Amino acid sequence: MRLCRSLAVVLGGLALVTATTAGTATAASGTFAWVGPKNKAYSIQNPPDNKCYDMGQEARGAQNATKGPVVVYSDKRCKGSATRLAPGQSAPSGAHFASVVFNPR
């Protein structure tokens, strides 16, 4: 559980750095949320685009409240079965995923 919280903090920090750094880097505007161990809710704001992120622990029920598409994968390193979530779309509550990419190219 602590590792998953750390992932949320790191991703949130990366989004903040990306949003405040001049250049071509962009971030998905909005919130990405999921359910982790013990049914605890997690979320990140404005995640960086087009970079694969592995989940530290159990993750399921992805909810895409960003303004761009999200792809969740069944395996780490954005491998395995892919599920694309359009803006505003949610995966079924029991749908587990191990990695995610925001606004994939």
The secondary structure of the chain in percent helix, strand, coil, rounded to multiples of 5, reads 25, 40, 35
Other C-beta atoms lying within 10 Å of the C-beta of residue 93? 11
| Number of compact structural domains in the chain | 1
Q: Going residue by residue through the chain (105 aa), what tens digit of pLDDT does each one get?
A: 555 555 555 454 444 444 444 344 577 789 999 999 999 999 999 999 999 999 999 999 999 999 999 999 999 999 999 999 999 999 998 999 999 999 988
- What pLDDT does 19 receive? 42
Domain that holds residue 87: 2-102
- Cα radius of gyration (the chain): 12
CATH classification at residue 66 = 2.60.20.10
Query: H or E stretch including 18?
Result: helix 2-20
pTM: 0.74
Tokens coding 91? 């995966």
